[in-house]
Every structure is written in C-alpha cells, then in structure tokens.
Structure 1
Amino acid sequence: MSIIEINNFSQNFGDKLLFEDTSFVLNPGEKIGLTGVNGAGKSTLLKIIMGQVLLDKGTFYKNPRYRIEYLDQHAEVKGEDSIKEYLCGAYKPLFDAEKKLNKINEQLATETNNDKLERLLNQSGDLFEYLTANNFYAIDSEIEKVCAGLGITAFGLDTPVKNLSGGQRAKVMLAKLLLESPDVMVLDEPTNFLDINHIEWLTKFINSSPKAFIIVSHDSHFLNNVVTHICDVDNNKINRYVGNYEECMATKEARRIQHEKNYEQQQREIKKLEDYIARNKARASTANMPHSRERMLNRMDIINPPSEQIKPTFSFKYKDFAGNLVLKVENLVVGYNNDPLLKPISFEVENGDRVAITGFNGIGKSTLLKTIIGELDKISGTVTIAKNIVIGYYQQETDFQLFEGTPLNYVSNFYPKLTEKDIRASLNRSGLNSVHCRKQIKQLSGGEQSKIKICILTLKACNLLILDEPTNHLDVFAIDRLREAIAEFKGTVIFVSHSKPFIKDVATKIIDLEKL
C-alpha cells in the first residue's frame, strides 16, 4: 500500500497555475528525486505533502501508519540548547521512557506490597525492553557518528545552537532529522551547506536506509547516486520516471523529442483539414463536402504545444586589466574577535585563474572571501589586490525575508540610474519573467532569489569575480548557464562550491584549506 497518494489535483500559487490535473504517489522504500526549474512548484508540493497547504482541487491520502518529517532549513531554532542537547531531542520519547523507568525503580526501592511490587517490576521490565529495542543506550555513539559524517563535530557539540551560522544550523537540523529516523524523510536542498566529503557520507546513509525519501536538489550528481525514481515537475504536470537521475533525464528528453514530433505532425494535419474545409466551403457546388472533415477536426485530441521555459542567459561584463598578478595573500590569519579559524595562509592568484576554495563546512571559506574583499578585518598578515582590480562579489546568504518590495525595487537600490525597462530586461536575461518582477521578493523560490543576486552581478563591469556558493538553489539549466558564463568571462574567478562536477568543470586551480 502506498504511503502518499495525491490524485488528479490542481493547484495555484496566487495567480500562477502550478499543477493541473496531475498526480503524485510515494511507496515504501522509494527514494524520489523531485526536480523541475526554479518556481515550477516543488516547494508547494512539499507543503501539500506536509499538510501545510490545502489542495485547490483533487484528493489527498496519507497512510496513518507512516510518520513523515520535513527538513525545513529556514525554521527558527529557539532556546539556549547546545548542539548535543538539541540533537538529543530526536530521542525525546526514549528519554521520557527512561525518566519513567527511573521513577519506577525509585518506587521499587521502598515498595513493600507484593501486588504493587510485581506490577512495578513488570512495568520496569517492559520499559527496559523498549529502551533496549530502540538502541537507547547507544544514543551518544549514534549522535557522534552522524555529527562526524556531516562535519558538525568540527564546531563543537557544546556550542549553543543560537550561535551557529545559517549553514551550520541547517546541518544540525539535518542531523536531527536523520537521528529521528521517521518512515519518510522529506529533504529540501540537503546538500546546500554540505562539503564534498559530507555529501558522500549522506549519500551512503540514504542508500543504506530502508526508509522512504523525497529529495529536492539541484545537485544532479547527488541525485544520480541516491534516487530510485524521479518526479519531474514540467508544464504543470508531475512526470514519474524509474531509475537514477541520468536515466530519467534521458527518458524525459526522448519523450520531449517525440512530443515535439507528434505536435508538429498534428499541426500539419490540422492545417490540411482547415485548408480543405475553407476551400470547399467557398464553392457552392462543394459546400456540403467539408462536414465530415469538420467532425474529424472537432473529435481530434489536441496535443498541447511543447512547453517553453525561461532559461537564463547570464553574461558578466568585463573591465580591462593588463597585469598578471591579481591577488597576493601572505601569512593571512582570518577569524572573529581575534579568534583564528585557520593557520596562516599564503597564495597568489594570477590573471585568468579560476580558483576553487575547498574544505569542510565551517573551516572558514566564506570568512576568507569576506576578509579578501575587506568586509571582515584580518587578524594578521597581508592581502594585496592589484591596482585597477574591480571585484564583483556574490554573497552566499542574503536575508530576503527582511526586504519589503519586488525584484525591480531590489535591483533599483543597487542601480538607481537604470530605468525600469532596463531592470526588467536584465532580470529577464537572468531567467525571471514579468510575473516574477511584480511579486514580493520574499514570495519567490530560493532559486529565483539567487537569480536576482546574479542579475545584480551581471550589471557591474569587473575583472575579479568572487563567488560564495553560487550554485545553491539554482536549477540545472541555470547552473549550466552559470558555468558557461564563467568560461566566457575574460577576468579572474575565485569561488567556493560544494558541487564536485562544478569544481571539476570550472576550476583551473584548487586551494584546499584542509591541506594548508
């Protein structure tokens, strides 16, 4: 029996149609990758599955025997709990049972009534069996194993959760969900804040788990290694494929080509019928002949035209630079409040280099970039940037929830001299249509918000791009175009990315902070 069934449903988000007469099903043990371009409706589907959004039309069934939990990376974590205390919350029913067991054991020490004593002994035995069966006495080792796998151990299990960065908090929330081990785990962009080693650990964890997963990710390499099915959101439909990501996308492409052929063939047939009807209706002697062709045309099951997705065309403006050495870093120590994150770093970047900065999450990659551009003060050492270098910086974390306004307003804040027409054209080249431009920025998907940040970057002529996790939230089409735009850029690029394929395709030099 299936765990989730959503049948023949339609759904709008505001005035935008997301789904029309389509269906979704999840069966036990399936690992489904939910794919589609930014804004296709993936997040809305997850909210429907979690009961946060009601269906506009259709039927929804969730098997009550199965527990479903959702990784919401944007949820607030309140309170003073340390990481260890927060993760222990994954085992709350077990800790509650232990408290009950301890209380019963205290009663056993003073109880003299034989009947009550026997009842307490039975309760104590049942609770002990429950705790043992659920591996209660190995909780510490389970927490340590997951924390090591996701790189949480590096920033200390005694650290208060409220003191963590957004990326660190997302990793801790993922760890808690994995420790809770519900029947279905819904993961929305789980690799966004994971480094390569931690993605590999998560891949092994998912592959070895008998549980069902629904995974939204634009990391095609990760999806290819974990999914058993793909549900692709395209043209208001959910198309289900069996196999890994590459196999499913190959099937999708074959279907797309066949659909285009069928559509074009039908359009030619329709044109012939319409021409025949028009010619014969014009002559009195043949006016009755077209009736059969009209009936044929009316009975025809019309094939919808192939969907046209807005694909970005990123292009970075280049400002001339004639020198060779772009950046020189000597014995640089970075950190916060004179507390170093790294040993002293020294390296050089030459004109035209594509430099990937790698290392585990929390090691200091973003801190290094912010120190290079002067956003953070260095603890010691020197950063020498060549004269006439103009930097274009892509920041990993931007809190759009605090901004009241549309993408047009947001871009205008950076470039007040641009006309609305020019801003619309720039946003459109970044993959955002007129509907996106009119929406409140906080209502857009993470990928659409990322395209706004890239749009701002494309409007500035520069010769050094510094990009902090630029592929986060972007769909496959946008990542491909970003890769091409970087290749076409005549300047120098320094970037941080957790995507192994992106690093392989883009980088000409790698600086691994773990090996310095």
Structure 2
Amino acid sequence: MNELYCQSADGDMAKLNMAARYQEELERKEFYLIDTKIEQVATGLGLTAIGLDRPIEQMSGGQRAKVILAKLLLEKPDILLLDEPTNFLDKEHVTWLAEYLSSLPNAFLAVSHDYDFLEKISTRICDIDNEKITKYFGTYSEFTRKKALLREDYIRQYAAQQKTIKKTEEFIRRNIAGRKSKMARGRQKQLDRMDKMEALEQKEIKPHFRFEALPLTTTEHLKVKHLDVGYHYPVLSDISFSIKGGEKIVMTGFNGIGKSTLLKTLISQIPSLSGGFRFSEQVKIGYFEQELAWADIEKTPIQIVSDAYPSLTIKDVRKCLAGCGISSKHAMQEIGTLSGGEQAKVKMCLLMMKPCNFLIMDEPTNHLDALAKESLKTALEEFEGTVLLVSHEEAFYRDWTQKVINIEKKI
C-alpha cells in the first residue's frame, strides 16, 4: 500500500485508484481491526491465559480445539457449522460464545447437548426424530414444550385411527361372505386407500450403566510425584498427588490445561517427560477416553463388542448394548454413522464388560443426553472401586465425589 501511494505521488491516477480500491477492500475486511478482533476472541475462549505465542505442538488437545474454534470465528463465514462447540470450554467461555453467536449477523448451525447454551443461542430448532427432521421456531425450551404437545396429539390421533382400523377389519371379517359382502369390499377399499399413521418409536431408551468392581483395599493405590506431562514440551509440570482405594475423585482445571494429557500419561498411552507415578499391584484400570476414535469406522457396535469379547454370544452382545441404550437398529449400523452420544454408549458398553477396581473417566458426559448422564452418575456412585474423573460439569459430580484435585493450583 505504501509503495502504491508513493508511486501515485507524481500524479499516476491508475496507481492512486488501485490504492483506493485496495484500501476500501481492507476496510471492508476489517483489516485494521484484526488485532482487536483476535484479542476479543482469544480472551473470550480462554486462549489469552494459555499464551498466544505458545507453539501448537506444546498445547493439549483441548487447547488446540480452542485455537481451531477461534480461527473459525475470526474467518466470519457466511454459514458457521459448529459440532459440540462447548465441549472444551469453561462456563464463562460458554457464556461468551453464546453472546458472540447471538450477535452474529450471519447464519450458524450448532449441534450441542448443552441445553442452557442452546437456550441462549437458538431462534430455530431442527429436531431429528423417527428419521424425520422437523423445524421449530423459538428457543430450546419453547421447542421442548411444542414437541411434547405435538407428540401427545399424534398419539391421540394414532390411537383413534387404530380403533377405526380394528373396527373396520372386524366388519369386513364378519360380512365378506354374507349379504353385506358388497359393503365389506367397499370398506376394504377404504382401508387400502387410508393414509395409515406409523407408530412412534419409544421416545428415548434409558441406559442402565453398571461397572463390576474387583476387590481393592483402602490403602494408597496411586502415587504421583513431581510429574511433567506433554507430547514434546510440558503442558503440566511438577504434579503430585495420591489416591486411596474406594475414593471418588474429580480432577478440575480450565479446559485445555492438559488434564486429558495427564490421564493418558497415567495409563501409559504417552510417556511422562519427567518425574514419576506408581499404581499398586492390586489395581486393574478401566479407562474411558474422551475422543471417539475407532480402528474401523465401518464396523457395527455388535462387531466391535464381539471382537473385543469373542467368548460372548451375539445374544449377550445385543443384551449389553441394549442395556447401554443402543437400539437394535443402531447396533447393526456402522459405528461411524452413529451420533456422538450413541458412540459414547458403545464405549461405555466395552468398559462395563471388563471388571476393574480403578475407573479413569475423561469427560464421559460430553456426548450424553440427560437420561444417560443420570444413569452414569448412579453407576459411578454405586461403584465400589476408585474413580478418577475429569469433568467440567459440576452438576454431574457434585453429589458423589469426595475429593477435588484442582490442577490449576498445581501449576
């Protein structure tokens, strides 16, 4: 730009007009506000606390997810598609994102299990139910009220139609060969032409999670001492704590701080960078991973569970999947075609079938609906072994955990 202005100083109108066009385009793209915009989005999503000059390779998975979301928001696309955008955000950052999205002039489509978040941002709800998409106008709470009323009305109409069909079929059966056979055939034609309503599937299949606990004494079973974790550089340093048998512990800290990285280190999925940790010989770990990753996304839940536990009959596999809230239909679909919630239930099924005494759970509620969360909460509360939980949902763990390890206070 400066060069163009210098070249136009001698009266070159072509260069001056070009500079003016570029200047207009830069202003239209808000080029001179970009630093302010970056600061606004970075602060809103909690990236400023991490450090904007921090290399990506030094960041945890949650921190990288925030960077991707920030980049997407700053691009200002015509249509913004967001799949569970609050999973890696703390409460204040979720509030900021809701306000930011509500002020956007452009359209966006969000998929989320955070109903408070949906209540704040939505003016339209697209509900997928019984293989149909229905559009509702209004907030999330208005949608739930309208859907319940429509469902009740449909059930009444369906019951009335079924009563009519049954009565008509009975008339046809009694009169098809008698004096009223002509009338019976007419009724049959009416029945054939009738637009028959389909029975609604059960609203929701409530899962029933249960974890079988192996014996474990109440002595110390995990000792972490001056542990540094990360992939190439430490995301958490000098972490020390201990856990006894039977304790129910939640690990907290702002999203992206490195809690998942710490858990992956404890199960030896990634090596520690410094320091150490030790589990007792009694410990048998059960681990729920936050990421929904599969070796083969074309396999069905039945195939996945059968491969993991080949001694089980197909009947037993189906029973376990059904207990976790997976319908017969979804049990035979490719895992990659299922929703995040259904995939999480399959992972829960795999975990339930392996007895353990030390459950390590990394954000297990991220993709679960309210019924599944309630069932999981009960299962963890009743589990007789140790639980080490990472969760950003205080309402989920508040009533049954006994100890909090706040990672923020250890860095």
Instruction: Provide TM-score, normalisation by structure 1.
Output: 0.69
How far 1:187 sits from its partner (Å)? 0.9
The one-letter amino acid paired with 2:130 is N
**1:123 aligned to which of 18, 22, 32:** 18
**2:200 aligned to which of 306, 317, 342:** 306
CA contact under 8 A between 2:229 and 2:272: conserved in structure 1? yes
Deviates further, 145-154 or 367-376: 367-376
Q: Give the corresponding residue for 2:351.
A: 457
The reply on whether 1:470 has 2:370 as its aligned counterpart is no
Alpha-carbon separation, structure 1, partners of 2:286 and 2:318: 21
Counterparts in 2 of 1:348-363, with a 5 A limit?
348=243, 351=246, 353=248, 355-363=249-257
CA contact under 8 A between 1:465 and 1:494: conserved in structure 2? yes
Counterparts in 2 of 1:407-426, with a 5 A limit?
407-426=301-320
Q: Give the corresponding residue for 1:185.
A: 80
- With over 3 angstroms needed to count, the CA separation of the structure-2 counterparts of 1:291 and 1:507, relative to structure 1, is same
The one-letter amino acid paired with 1:105 is Y
Secondary structure, counterpart of 1:473 in structure 2:
coil
The percentage of aligned residue pairs carrying the same residue is 42
- With over 3 angstroms needed to count, the CA separation of the structure-2 counterparts of 1:344 and 1:236, relative to structure 1, is closer
Q: Give the corresponding residue for 2:35.
A: 140
- With over 3 angstroms needed to count, the CA separation of the structure-2 counterparts of 1:493 and 1:187, relative to structure 1, is same
CA contact under 8 A between 2:58 and 2:235: conserved in structure 1? no
How far 1:285 sits from its partner (Å)? 4.0
- With over 3 angstroms needed to count, the CA separation of the structure-2 counterparts of 1:487 and 1:225, relative to structure 1, is farther
Alpha-carbon separation, structure 1, partners of 2:380 and 2:124: 32
Q: Give the corresponding residue for 1:108.
A: 8
The reply on whether 1:261 has 2:156 as its aligned counterpart is yes
- With over 3 angstroms needed to count, the CA separation of the structure-2 counterparts of 1:124 and 1:505, relative to structure 1, is farther
Q: Give the corresponding residue for 2:168.
A: 273
The one-letter amino acid paired with 2:7 is Q
Gap runs ≥5 in structure 2: none
Gap runs ≥5 in structure 1: 1-100
The one-letter amino acid paired with 2:294 is F
Q: Give the corresponding residue for 2:118.
A: 223
The one-letter amino acid paired with 2:349 is C
- With over 3 angstroms needed to count, the CA separation of the structure-2 counterparts of 1:185 and 1:504, relative to structure 1, is farther
The reply on whether 1:202 has 2:97 as its aligned counterpart is yes
The reply on whether 1:174 has 2:74 as its aligned counterpart is no
The reply on whether 1:482 has 2:376 as its aligned counterpart is yes
- With over 3 angstroms needed to count, the CA separation of the structure-2 counterparts of 1:286 and 1:413, relative to structure 1, is closer
**1:157 aligned to which of 36, 40, 52:** 52
Alpha-carbon separation, structure 2, partners of 1:348 and 1:102: 63
Deviates further, 141-150 or 488-497: 488-497
- With over 3 angstroms needed to count, the CA separation of the structure-2 counterparts of 1:510 and 1:252, relative to structure 1, is farther
CA deviations on 1:17-64 (whole Å, 9 max, x unpaired) are: xxxxxxxxxxxxxxxxxxxxxxxxxxxxxxxxxxxxxxxxxxxxxxxx
Secondary structure, counterpart of 2:359 in structure 1:
strand
- With over 3 angstroms needed to count, the CA separation of the structure-2 counterparts of 1:402 and 1:508, relative to structure 1, is same
CA contact under 8 A between 2:297 and 2:336: conserved in structure 1? yes
CA contact under 8 A between 1:330 and 1:347: conserved in structure 2? yes
The one-letter amino acid paired with 1:425 is K
The one-letter amino acid paired with 2:141 is E
CA contact under 8 A between 1:310 and 1:432: conserved in structure 2? no
Instruction: Provide TM-score, normalisation by structure 2.
Output: 0.84
The reply on whether 1:400 has 2:294 as its aligned counterpart is yes
Secondary structure, counterpart of 2:13 in structure 1:
helix
CA contact under 8 A between 1:463 and 1:490: conserved in structure 2? yes
Secondary structure, counterpart of 1:451 in structure 2:
helix
The reply on whether 1:427 has 2:321 as its aligned counterpart is yes
Alpha-carbon separation, structure 2, partners of 1:301 and 1:421: 37
Alpha-carbon separation, structure 2, partners of 1:430 and 1:479: 12
The reply on whether 1:511 has 2:405 as its aligned counterpart is yes
CA contact under 8 A between 1:441 and 1:449: conserved in structure 2? yes
**CA RMSD of superposed structures (Å):** 3.3
